[in-house]
Amino acid sequence: MLRPKIPTNPLPTGIVTGTARSDVAAVPHQTPAPAPTAPARPTVQLTPGAVVAVIGGGTAVVLVVGAVLVSMLLAVAVTAASLAISALVVRSLVASQNHR
């Protein structure tokens, strides 16, 4: 049960011979001329439009990240204020209960 069985390959049925013909005339081999190389250019080309696009994209990213961070800070501040008000109400209720 734990011994793997390796399948056996079937034996070939016979020898196959091709029907190749050797009466093909020899054709002289000519190598094509190498293609001219393109002039070297800088990899990154900064056009005025590309610079404006990069600056605009960077500004948009900074504004979006800033808005997200400010909204998170505002959420924490609102939560802290509501907890402080709740603590004051509970403290005043406990203090008024002790005075009676």
Tokens of 73: 């800070």
Domain that holds residue 80: 70-100
Tokens of 30: 């000519």
Share of the chain above pLDDT 70, in %: 85
Give the pLDDT confidence of 10-68 residue by residue, as tens digits. 777 777 777 766 665 666 677 887 888 777 776 777 898 999 999 999 999 999 999 99
Q: Classify residue 81: in a domain, yes or no.
A: yes
Q: Classify residue 14: in a domain, yes or no.
A: no
- Residue whose entry in the numeric block shows the structure tokens 């924490």: 76
Q: Classify residue 56: in a domain, yes or no.
A: no
Q: Classify residue 83: in a domain, yes or no.
A: yes
Q: Is the pTM of this model over 0.75?
A: no
Q: Classify residue 93: in a domain, yes or no.
A: yes
Tokens of 98: 């002790």
Give the pLDDT confidence of 56-99 residue by residue, as tens digits. 999 999 999 999 999 999 999 999 999 999 999 999 999 988 77
Q: Classify residue 63: in a domain, yes or no.
A: no
